[in-house]
Amino acid sequence: MFEGEKWFLSPLTNEIETRKGTVTKSGSYQGTQYWEFDGIKLADIM
């Protein structure tokens, strides 16, 4: 949940990067590379 809305990680990552003004040229993100649980990237947990 982010701002009261349910998101998938990749679109949420894109939204946050857009708000920061640091969106990539492609606008494409693999969300699991940007988010962590207990200090471990989600991509490494999966």
Q: Which residue has the tokens 């492609």?
A: 26
Residue 44: predicted pLDDT: 96
Query: CB–CB of 42/9 below 8 Å?
Result: yes
Residues 12-22: what's their mean pLDDT? 94
d(CA 5, CA 23): 21
DSSP secondary structure letters along the chain: -BTTB---HHHHHHHHHHHHT---SS----GGGT-EETTEEHHHH-
Local confidence band at 46 (pLDDT 50, 70, 90 cut-offs):
confident
Query: CB–CB of 35/2 below 8 Å?
Result: no
Q: Is the pTM of this model over 0.95?
A: no
What percentage of the chain exceeds 70 in pLDDT? 100
Local confidence band at 1 (pLDDT 50, 70, 90 cut-offs):
very high
